[in-house]
C-alpha cells in the first residue's frame, strides 16, 4: 500500500519517537522522551503545544499542574532527542524557532489522533469530567435540549457548565480558556479554531400583533419608518443590519439595542419597535399571536451557526460536544422547512 509522504512537522514527531535509531544510535539513547513502558509520552507533545501557546514556563506549568522545572526538563529532553532547538528563550518570553513551528504542527496532529483513538475505544459511559459550554440564546432555544438528552443517556458521567451570552463575550472567554467549546458565531478571525457547521436559521422581520399593515409587502425603505431593535454593536447581525438598511438611512432611524434574546422579544411585544429574528426561536409567541412575522420584500440574510473550540482545546470533551451538537442540529433541521432551518 502506498504511503502518503510525511510533512516536515510529522517527520519531526516521527524522529522524536524513533530517535537516532535510524542513524545507528543505541536504543538506550532514546529514554529521554519515553515513559517507563518504553512508549512515547503524549504529555511531552502536549507540553510543547501548551508552551508554544502560552509563551511562559510558569503558565504552562500551572496549566499542566507540574513545576516550571519539569516543563523545562521536558522541552530540553525533546530538543536533545531531535538535535534542534524548538524554542528561543530569553528573560521575558519564549518563542518558537522555525523548527519548533514545524514540530508543533505535527504534534497537534499526533495528539488529536491519539485523543480520537482514546475517545473511540473508551466506553461512552466511562467518559467523565466537566465541560464548559458557551452558547447563544438561539442555540439554547433550539438544539440544547437534544444535546443535554444525549449527554444524559450516553455519557452520564459528563457534567456541563453552561454560559449564555453575546458572541463577543463568549469568544473572549474561549480565548481566556474560561470556556471549552462554543455553540454560536465564531466571527471573522478563525485562526487557531476548530470549526464545525451546525445549521443555518432563516431571519425574518417581526413585530407585535398591533402593528398595522395595508396587506402589501414592506420595502426596506418603509421599514426605516418604524423604530428598530438591533443586535448589540459589533455583533454579526448588527453589521448585517447596517448593510441591509438603505444607504444613508441608518443614522436617521430610531435604533434601540439589545444583547439579550429575551429582552428583544419583550421589547417587540411591548411595541418598542420591530426586529429581525429567527422565527424558530419565537414559535410560542407566534402561535399565541403576540408576535407576527412581517411580509418584507427583500429578505434579511440567514444566520449560520457553528460549534467551535480551540485547536488545542482546554478540555478533551470539547470535540465530543461539537459532534453531539452537529447531530442534534441535523435532526432539528429535519423537522422544519428549509427557509426556517437548514444544514
Calpha distance 190→251 (Å, rounded):
31
Nearest-CA neighbor of 268 among 219, 227, 215, 216?
227
Instruction: Label residue 6 by pLDDT band (50, 70, 90).
Output: very low
pTM: 0.71
Task: Please say whether the beta carbons of 237 and 278 come within 8 A.
Answer: no
Instruction: Report the share of the chain in percent with pLDDT over 90.
Output: 60
Kind of pairing, strands 303-310 and 193-201?
A: antiparallel
Domain edge (last residue) among 79, 98, 121 = 121
pLDDT tens digits, one per residue of 115-144? 878 777 777 677 889 999 999 999 999 999
Higher pLDDT, 253 or 118: 253
Instruction: Report the share of the chain in percent with pLDDT over 70.
Output: 87
pLDDT tens digits, one per residue of 36-70? 333 348 889 989 988 998 889 988 998 888 999 99
In a domain, 2, yes or no: no
What pLDDT shows up at residue 202?
97
In a domain, 168, yes or no: yes
Residues 315, 334 within the same domain: yes
104, three cell numbers: 508543533
In a domain, 103, yes or no: yes
Task: Please say whether the beta carbons of 290 and 208 come within 8 A.
Answer: yes
| Distances, alpha carbon 122 to alpha carbons 155, 309, 317, in Å | 11, 22, 13
Bridge partners of 291?
Answer: 208
CB atoms within 10 A of CB 210: 9
pLDDT tens digits, one per residue of 164-175? 998 889 999 999
Calpha distance 63→313 (Å, rounded):
12
What pLDDT shows up at residue 214?
75
Angle at 117 between CA 116 and CA 121, to 5 degrees: 115
Calpha distance 158→123 (Å, rounded):
13
pLDDT tens digits, one per residue of 280-303? 999 999 999 999 999 999 999 999
Instruction: Label residue 192 by pLDDT band (50, 70, 90).
Output: confident
In a domain, 135, yes or no: yes
| Distances, alpha carbon 90 to alpha carbons 63, 69, 70, 233, in Å | 21, 16, 18, 41
Residues 136, 237 within the same domain: no
13, three cell numbers: 514527531
Residues 34, 87 within the same domain: yes
Residues 275, 240 within the same domain: yes
Does residue 245 register a pLDDT over 60?
yes
In a domain, 136, yes or no: yes
SS3 content of the chain, % helix, strand, coil (to 5): 45, 20, 35
In a domain, 1, yes or no: no
Work out the average pLDDT over 93-101: 91
Residues 227, 136 within the same domain: no
Residues 65, 211 within the same domain: no
Domain edge (last residue) among 68, 103, 121 = 121
What pLDDT shows up at residue 310?
92
Residues 209, 277 within the same domain: yes
Residues 234, 146 within the same domain: no
What pLDDT shows up at residue 30?
33
Provide the phi-psi class of 124: left if phi over 0, else alpha when psi is between -120 and 50, else beta: alpha
Mapped onto helix, strand or coil, the DSSP state of residue 111 is: helix
Residue written as grid cell 470539547 = 318
Q: What is the CATH number of the domain that holds 23?
A: 1.10.10.10
What pLDDT shows up at residue 257?
96
Domain edge (last residue) among 95, 121, 147 = 121
Least confident interval from 116-120, 157-161, 214-218, 266-270: 116-120
In a domain, 329, yes or no: yes
In a domain, 156, yes or no: yes
pLDDT tens digits, one per residue of 10-40? 545 544 444 433 333 333 333 344 443 333 4
Domain span including residue 57: 8-121
Q: What is the CATH number of the domain that holds 289?
A: 3.40.190.10
Calpha distance 246→227 (Å, rounded):
15
Split into its structural domains, the chain has a count of 3
Residues 12, 91 within the same domain: yes
Residues 26, 96 within the same domain: yes
Residues 108, 176 within the same domain: no
Residues 55, 79 within the same domain: yes
Amino acid at each position: 500500500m502506498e504511503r502518503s509522504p510525511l510533512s516536515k512537522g510529522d517527520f519531526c514527531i516521527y524522529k522524536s519517537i524513533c530517535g537516532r535509531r535510524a542513524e545507528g544510535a543505541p536504543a538506550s539513547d532514546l529514554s529521554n522522551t519515553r515513559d517507563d513502558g518504553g512508549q512515547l509520552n503524549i504529555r511531552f507533545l502536549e507540553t510543547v503545544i501548551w508552551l508554544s501557546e502560552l509563551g511562559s514556563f510558569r503558565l504552562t506549568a500551572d496549566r499542566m499542574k507540574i513545576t516550571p522545572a519539569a516543563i523545562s526538563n521536558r522541552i530540553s529532553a525533546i530538543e536533545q532527542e531531535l538535535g534542534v532547538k524548538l524554542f528561543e528563550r530569553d528573560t521575558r518570553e519564549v518563542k518558537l524557532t522555525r523548527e519548533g513551528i514545524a514540530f508543533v504542527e505535527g504534534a497537534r496532529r499526533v495528539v488529536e489522533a491519539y485523543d480520537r483513538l482514546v475517545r473511540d475505544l473508551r466506553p461512552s459511559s466511562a467518559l467523565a469530567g466537566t465541560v464548559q459550554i458557551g452558547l447563544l440564546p438561539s442555540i439554547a432555544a433550539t438544539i440544547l435540549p437534544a444535546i443535554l438528552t444525549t449527554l444524559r443517556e450516553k455519557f452520564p458521567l459528563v457534567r456541563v457548565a453552561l454560559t449564555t451570552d453575546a458572541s463577543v463575550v463568549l469568544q473572549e472567554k474561549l480565548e481566556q480558556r474560561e470556556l471549552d467549546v462554543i455553540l454560536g458565531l465564531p466571527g471573522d478571525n478563525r485562526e487557531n479554531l476548530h470549526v464545525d457547521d451546525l445549521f443555518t436559521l432563516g431571519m425574518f422581520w417581526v413585530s407585535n400583533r398591533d402593528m398595522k399593515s395595508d396587506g402589501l409587502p414592506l420595502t426596506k425603505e418603509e421599514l426605516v419608518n418604524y423604530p428598530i431593535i438591533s443586535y448589540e454593536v459589533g455583533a454579526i447581525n448588527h453589521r448585517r443590519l447596517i448593510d441591509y438598511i438603505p444607504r444613508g438611512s441608518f443614522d436617521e432611524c430610531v435604533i434601540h439595542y439589545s444583547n439579550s434574546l429575551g429582552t428583544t422579544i419583550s421589547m417587540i411585544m411591548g411595541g418598542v419597535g420591530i426586529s429581525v429574528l429567527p422565527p424558530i426561536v419565537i414559535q410560542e409567541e407566534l402561535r399565541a399571536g403576540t408576535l407576527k412575522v412581517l411580509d418584507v420584500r427583500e429578505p434579511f440574510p440567514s444566520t449560520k451557526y457553528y460549534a467551535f473550540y480551540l485547536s488545542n482545546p482546554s478540555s478533551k470533551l470539547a470535540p465530543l460536544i461539537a459532534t453531539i451538537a452537529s447531530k442534534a442540529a441535523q435532526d432539528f433541521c429535519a423537522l422544519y422547512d428549509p427557509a426556517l432551518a437548514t444544514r
